[in-house]
Amino acid sequence: MTWKEIKSKLKWIDPFTYLDFFIEFLHKKGINYKALDVVLQILYALFLAYLTICIVGLITGASKPITIVVTGSMEPNVNVGDFLIVGAPKNIETTDVYYDGKVGGKDIKEFLEPIFVNGNTTKVKVGGTIYDLNTNADVIIYYSPVVNKDLVHRAVIRINAKDGVFYLTKGDNTETNFMLDEDCEFVYGQYIVKDACLYKTAIPENEIQGKMLFKIPYIGYIKVIPYKIYLWVRGLF
């Protein structure tokens, strides 16, 4: 089989082949407008993207199976522009802590003490026992009502309490995310920083949207670049 014959057969794998046939059909019917061709190509691309997300969601079991990283809070392990495939929030690997009380709706300082080491939260003290934050735990996705967007951070502790299961999360970047996402008040040098948290309480298990299965570097820049331009333009006004 020649390369030309192989190429001819492979074209049937390309979904845009069928759009080309449809556009050619319209041209033969006298409907030949460049603007219409472009609109059809854009709509078809959006449809294929949506269909891909639905298929990936069926496979992984996640409600939002694809996520693109736009900030550096998880560097160096998850970077800006990484394209994440997300699975269902099941069997999340992390460190389990058991607390003989209720934690739902409470400030985390009511039942634990974050411990700073060299300017970074690395441990928590719960009921007299000190636990290391699990820096090898699964990376999860949750919605932050504080910043009104989905966040991709590591599930460093799972708290098993009387009123359910909850998670503590943290970004891997110790330069920008040196405290727990749920730590709303902490001492930084000579200052007391208030309301700096990304979630007001420990995160209930049912609020976790999914966990990262794997990442594809750089592909996400197709979203990151327009996002950065948007932030730059917004900063002008």
Please give, one letter per residue, the 3-state secondary structure of 202-221. CEEHHHEEEEEEEEECCCCH
Q: What percent of the chain has pLDDT over 70?
A: 95
- Work out the average pLDDT over 2-19: 76
140 and 54, same structural domain?
no
Q: Which residue has the higher pLDDT, 175 or 233?
A: 175
Domain range enclosing 48:
3-60
148 and 48, same structural domain?
no
Among 42, 60, 78, the domain boundary falls at: 60
Q: What is the pLDDT of residues 58-117, one digit of tens each?
A: 999 998 899 999 999 999 999 999 999 999 999 999 999 999 999 999 999 999 999 988
Check residue 124 and give its pLDDT: 96
Looking at 39-48, 128-137, 150-159, which range is the least confident one?
A: 39-48
Q: pTM for the full model?
A: 0.83
Residue 204 dihedral angles phi and psi, to the nearest 5°: -60, 145
8-state DSSP, 181: T
| Angle formed at CA 73 by CA 96 and CA 180, multiple of 5 degrees | 40
29 and 93, same structural domain?
no
191 and 103, same structural domain?
yes
Check residue 222 and give its pLDDT: 85
What is the DSSP annotation of 19-84? HHHHHHHHHHTT---HHHHHHHHHHHHHHHHHHHHHHHHHHH--SS-EEE--SSTTTTTS-TT-EE
- Work out the average pLDDT over 27-39: 89
Tally of structural domains, the chain: 2
125 and 197, same structural domain?
yes
211 contacts 65 by C-beta, under 8 angstroms: no
Confidence of residue 233 (pLDDT cuts 50, 70, 90): confident
Alpha helices in 78-196 (DSSP H): none
Q: Is 121 helix (H, G, I), strand (E, B) or coil?
A: strand
Check residue 16 and give its pLDDT: 83
126 and 21, same structural domain?
no
